[in-house]
Amino acid sequence: MVIHVVRPGESLSSVAREYGVPLSQLAVDNGLQNDPRLVVGQALVVQFPQQVHTVQPGESLSSIARQYGMSLRQLYRNNPILGGGPVLYPGQTLVISYEGATEGVLSVNGYAYPFIDKDLLQSTVPYLTFLTPFTYGFTPDGTLVDRDDGVLIAMAKAGGAAPLMHLSTLTGEGGFSNELAHIALTDRTVQDALISNLRRTLEEKGYRGLDVDFEYVFPEDASAYAAFLGRLTALLNPLGYPVIAALAPKTSADQPGLLYEAHNYRAIAEAVNEVLLMTYEWGYTYHHTGPR
């Protein structure tokens, strides 16, 4: 694989010819199927197939994967043009392997609302380690606000991704409630009910872990939040469920602001199995002031 930086006068087809790769593959690998126009300075990923297979009548993706001793998931990954779907046609060329050694292992998580376009999800799942339907809220008595997540869970498992349950203090009005967090963190009866409901939902729906995302927690609840996460880890790990905590992107331990003060990096890191640093708080589609 090489990274090509677009020069003046170049087109997608001229770059494909330069490297001797199929134009269709170059377009798919760079998300340019619908708009092949290039911009000077744009970076393009160029991959070089090492082994290919020409589809014969009667073959399926499963039979081709078995023929080469590879997983169906990897066959999808090598051929994004399939869109995660099973349709083949005789004469179609599939990439079995690419030149170059694999460098390390990358875990990838994707968040999705239940109303996500299912074709988009199907084409994405083969590249995900985890899929996290967004989001389970809860009421002041610890009752979970259920989600219509059955299709997402099934598609995650079918595509080889592990579904993670997402718990947050997001309310129906669209904001994170520090009052709701305070109740769950300080009222033992509510916390017991919440944890019991989490455990039941994890088991009943076939989730593989829990991602906790409490934002704008009161600074005085920082210790209680870490303790709550530690309690979740102690109770859920023996059942096979890892616990992940989402962290606000702090630049210093004492950074002021309601988003940051209750997220004690050291205490939370010691309480859970993994953490997720929400750097998208620094830059996203409509706000480009920081790392993306």
Choose among 25, 3, 134, 39: nearest CA to 79. 25
Paired tokens of 76? 């999808």
Identity of residue 189: T
266 pLDDT more than 50: yes
Segment 4-14 mean pLDDT: 94
d(CA 210, CA 195): 11
Segment 138-163 mean pLDDT: 95
If you ran DSSP here, which 8-state letter would residue 262 be given?
A: T
Question: Residue 19: which H helix or E strand, with range?
Answer: helix 12-19
Neighbours of 83 (CB within 10 A): 15
Per-residue confidence (pLDDT) for residue 281, from 0 to 100:
61
Where does the pLDDT of residue 291 fall: very low under 50, low under 70, confident under 90, or very high at 90 and above? very low
d(CA 53, CA 70): 13
The three-point CA angle 157-158-162 to 5° equals 20
Per-residue confidence (pLDDT) for residue 181, from 0 to 100:
97
235 pLDDT more than 50: yes
Q: Residue with structure tokens 């985890």?
A: 130
Contact predicate 132/124, CB 8 Å: no
Provide the mean pLDDT of the chain: 92
Catalytic residue status for 18: no
Tell whether the torsion through CA atoms of 204, 206, 210 and 213 is positive or negative: negative
d(CA 177, CA 124): 32
Per-residue confidence (pLDDT) for residue 172, from 0 to 100:
84
Per-residue confidence (pLDDT) for residue 279, from 0 to 100:
81
d(CA 223, CA 252): 18
Of the candidate ranges 57-61, 91-95, 105-109, 139-143, the one whose mean pLDDT is the lowest: 105-109
**Burial bucket for residue 49 (CB in 10 Å: 0-12, 13-18, 19+):** middle
Of the candidate ranges 34-38, 135-139, 154-158, 259-263, the one whose mean pLDDT is the lowest: 34-38
The half-sphere exposure of 50 on its side-chain side, counting CA atoms within 13 A, is: 8
Paired tokens of 14? 């001229």
Whole-model pTM: value is 0.84
Paired tokens of 73? 């998931």
Paired tokens of 44? 């393009």
Count the helices and strands in the chain (H runs, E runs).
Answer: 10, 13
Choose among 215, 214, 240: nearest CA to 229. 214
d(CA 16, CA 26): 7
Per-residue confidence (pLDDT) for residue 292, from 0 to 100:
41
Choose among 235, 249, 242, 255: nearest CA to 280. 249
User: What percent of the chain has a predicted confidence (pLDDT) above 90?
Assistant: 77
Per-residue confidence (pLDDT) for residue 17, from 0 to 100:
94
Where does the pLDDT of residue 1 fall: very low under 50, low under 70, confident under 90, or very high at 90 and above? confident
Most confident of 37-51, 97-111, 179-193: 179-193
12 pLDDT more than 50: yes
The number of residues making up the chain comes to: 292
236 pLDDT more than 90: yes
- Catalytic residue from among 59, 215, 220, 270: 215
Per-residue confidence (pLDDT) for residue 41, from 0 to 100:
94
**Burial bucket for residue 187 (CB in 10 Å: 0-12, 13-18, 19+):** middle
